[in-house]
Amino acid sequence: MTSLLAFDPSSLPTETFDFLIIGSGVAGLSCAIELEAHGSVAVLTKEAMSEGSTQWAQGGIAAVLSPEPLDSSALHQSDTMQAGAGLCDREAVDVLVNEGPHRVRQLIARGAHFDTEPSGELKLTREAAHRARRIVHAQGDSTGREVQRSLSHSALASGGIAVHENVVTVDFLISEDDSGARRCCGVLALDSQTGKLRIFRAKATIAATGGIGAIYKVTTNPPVLTGDGMAMAFRAGAALMDMEFVQFHPTAFAKGPNNPKFLISEAVRGEGATLLNNKGERFMARYHPDAELAPRDVVSRAIAQEILETGADYVTLDLTANTAQEIAARFPKIYATCVAYGIDPAREPIPVSPAEHYMMGGIRTDLNGATNVVGLLACGECACTGVHGANRLASNSMLEGLVFGIRTVRAAMALKNSSCPPSRETGNGKRQTGVARSDDELASARVRVQELMWQYAGLVRGGEGLQRALRELDELQTRFGNPAPTRAAIELCNMICVAQLVTRAALERTESRGAHFRTDFPNLDDADWQRHIVLRQSDGELQIESAPAG
C-alpha cells in the first residue's frame, strides 16, 4: 500500500475501537446499530451525519410484503435477475429477496414510518421492471429522509456509538506482522475542522462510503460522494468488481443549466406518467414493450436518443392527467421542488434528462461483507456482492444497504477476538510532503474529471473515447496524485483513481450489457463476457482478472 500522505503513526493522536465504520448512510448505520451490543463502535462521516445519499432516495424500498399470489420472493428474484442482464450472482439475490422483508419490518419496529392505507396496511407502489407492487415509501417521495432520520435517531440514542462528524478518511491502515501477513487495522483520517491528522484503530474496519456520483458532470448524488471508500480500498490492495456498470437515472429535472438535477422518482412513471419528446409524442413503446416501465438503462438511452434526434435539451414527463392535489399528496417533495423552479406538474410536463445515479460495482465482498484484505469489510453502494449485476432493479438499493449492512456484522464479529500487529503500518514516512495546489487548480481539475467521465465514460461509450479519457486521467494522476493534507486535494485524488478504474473496466468489456453500452460493440456477448471484471493493485501495478457470474 502507498498512502496518499506522509505520516508517522507514532506521532499522531490515536483512538481504538472494536469496530470502525466509515459512512453514516443506511448500510453503515444499520451495521453500527447491530454491532453496538458487541463492542465499542465508532462511525466516521465526512460531513454531518445526514449528508450522504440515503436521505435523497425518493422511490422507496423494494421488498415482498404482500402474500402470494400478489407477490413472492421468487418473483422479486426473477425481476432482479432480469434487470441485471445475466450478471447477477444468484446466491446474493436469494439473500436480498429472502432477508429483505424481515429487515424492512425491523426498520419499522425501530421507528421508521412508511405510508399506509386507511386500513393500516402498508401502501405499496410499483416501479419500472417490477411485476408487482412491492415498494414501500414514506411521505410519498421522501423515503430516504425517513430512513436516515430513524437510523440516525437509533444510533445516537444508543449511547454506545461514537459518531465523529467532519472527519475525512484518508486511507486504510495496513499492518504487517513478522511473517509478512497483512491486515487492515484502522484508518488514517483528517479532521476537517482542525486540519490535523488522526488515527482510528479497530479490529474490524467497515467501508460504507456510498457511490461515485461526483466524478460525473451530471448526477443526482450529493457532492460528497467522491468514491473515497473504493479508492482507499484499491490502494490497500482490495479487489474491486463490476466498475464499468454505472447506472444513469433516466429522469432528472432538466430545466436550465443552473437548476439542480434533482431526481424525479421512477415511481412517478410507476403511477402512470408518460414520456414525451419535443413533438409531444410518446416514444418509449418504440424502444421496449414495457414502454415507460422498461429497465432504467433502456429508458435512459431511449431518452438520450430522442434528445439527439430532435435537437432538444430534454424530453418531458407528463403528469397532467392528475390534479395538483393528487400529485402533491403522492409526490410532495417532487411537486414542491418543481413548483419552486417554475414548473407546475399539474399544468405542464416536467423537463427531464438522464443523470448518473448509482454504482453497481465497488469493493468486492462475500455475502458477509468480507474483502480479500483481512480486517477490511464493506457494505452498501461502495461494495459489490454481485447482487445488482449489470443494472440495478429500482428500489433494491436501500434494501441492499439494510440486508448486507446487517450481514456484515457476522464478518466483523469474527474479527473481534483477533489482534492487529503493533503499529507497523506501511503507510509511509518515506513519502514526500504533498504538493499544495490552489483552490482554483483543484476545482478546475475536478471539473475536468467530471467532463471526461460524462463525455467518454457515461451513458454511451466507445473505445476511442475511453482511451482518450484514460490518457487524460493518467495525466491528472501524475499532476495531482501527491496531495497536500486537505479535503479538496484528497477528494480529487480519489475521484481520479475511481474514474481511472471505471474507464479501464469499460474499455476492457468489449460488449454492451445492462448499464454499459459500447457504440463499437453494441451487442450482448454471453459467450465471452458473462463474467465479472475484477481490478486490484499488486506491487503498484493494476491487475485485471475475471470471475464467473451466477
Q: How confident is the model at residue 57 (pLDDT cuts 50, 70, 90)?
A: low
Residues listed for the chain: 550
Give the DSSP per-residue string, 177-192. -TT--EEEEEEEEEET
Euclidean distance between CA atoms 268 and 78, whole angstroms: 23
Residue 504: which residues within 8 A CB-CB, separation 6 or more? 243, 470, 535, 542, 544
Judged by average pLDDT, the poorest of 78-92, 144-158, 246-260, 298-312 is 246-260
Residue 205 has, within 13 A of its CA and on its CB side, a CA count of 32
Asked whether 285 and 292 are in contact (CB, 8 A), the reply is no
pLDDT digits (tens, 9 = 90+) for 216-225: 998 988 899 9
Give the DSSP per-residue string, 127-178. -TT-SS--EE-STTT-HHHHHHHHHHHHHHHHS-EEEE-SEEEEEEEEEE-T
Residue whose C-alpha cell is 458477509: 368
- 3-class DSSP state for residue 426? coil
- 3-class DSSP state for residue 252? strand
Euclidean distance between CA atoms 172 and 176, whole angstroms: 13
pLDDT at 8: 84
pLDDT digits (tens, 9 = 90+) for 347-372: 999 999 999 999 999 999 999 999 99
pLDDT digits (tens, 9 = 90+) for 463-477: 999 999 999 999 999
Asked whether 410 and 99 are in contact (CB, 8 A), the reply is no
Q: What nine digits make up the cell of 322?
A: 392528475
pLDDT at 290: 92
pLDDT at 430: 47
Euclidean distance between CA atoms 404 and 407, whole angstroms: 5
pLDDT at 420: 79
Asked whether 45 and 162 are in contact (CB, 8 A), the reply is no
Mean pLDDT of 481-506: 97
Residue whose C-alpha cell is 422507496: 60
Q: Which residues are catalytic?
A: 296
Say what angle helices 487-508 and 463-480 make with each other, to 10 degrees: 150
Asked whether 97 and 73 are in contact (CB, 8 A), the reply is yes
Residue 220: which residues within 8 A CB-CB, separation 6 or more? 56, 213, 249, 252, 261, 262, 263, 355, 356, 357
Q: What nine digits make up the cell of 181?
A: 501477513
200: phi then psi, degrees, rounded to nearest 5: -120, 120
pLDDT at 1: 45
Mean pLDDT of 262-279: 89
Closest CA relative to residue 454, chosen from 354, 382, 311, 384: 354
- Percentage of residues in the chain with pLDDT exceeding 70? 95
Which amino acid is it at 365?
T
Q: Is the pLDDT of residue 142 over 90?
A: no
Measured at the CA of 58, the angle between CA 52 and CA 60, to 5 degrees, comes to 105
- 3-class DSSP state for residue 56? helix
Q: Where are the domains of the chain?
A: 1-245+360-542, 251-355
pLDDT at 53: 66
Buried b (16+ CB within 10 A) or exposed e, 268-296: bbbbebbbbbbeeeebbeebbeebbbbbb
Q: How confident is the model at residue 432 (pLDDT cuts 50, 70, 90)?
A: low
Mean pLDDT of 445-456: 97
CATH superfamily assigned to domain 1-245+360-542:
FAD/NAD(P)-binding domain (3.50.50.60)
pLDDT at 349: 96
Same fold across 1-245+360-542 and 251-355: no
Closest CA relative to residue 173, chosen from 316, 331, 375: 375
More confident residue, 259 or 404: 404
Task: Look up the CATH number of domain 251-355.
Answer: 3.90.700.10
Kindly list the strands in the beta sheet with 362-364, ordered across the sheet, starting from the edge strand earlier in the chain. Answer: 383-384, 362-364, 240-241, 531-538, 541-548
Q: How confident is the model at residue 435 (pLDDT cuts 50, 70, 90)?
A: confident
Q: Is the pLDDT of residue 99 over 50?
A: yes
pLDDT at 16: 96
273: phi then psi, degrees, rounded to nearest 5: -65, 150
Would strands 246-253 and 350-359 be described as parallel, antiparallel, or unpaired? Answer: antiparallel
320: phi then psi, degrees, rounded to nearest 5: -70, -5
Q: Is the pLDDT of residue 49 over 90?
A: no
Closest CA relative to residue 390, chosen from 511, 288, 274, 230: 511
Considering the entire predicted model, what is its pTM?
A: 0.92
pLDDT at 429: 42
**pLDDT averaged over the chain?**
92
pLDDT digits (tens, 9 = 90+) for 393-427: 989 999 999 999 999 999 999 998 887 766 554 44
- 3-class DSSP state for residue 379? coil
Euclidean distance between CA atoms 523 and 108, whole angstroms: 44
Distance of CA 346 to the CA centre of its chain: 32
Which amino acid is it at 61?
I
pLDDT at 52: 67
10: phi then psi, degrees, rounded to nearest 5: -70, -15
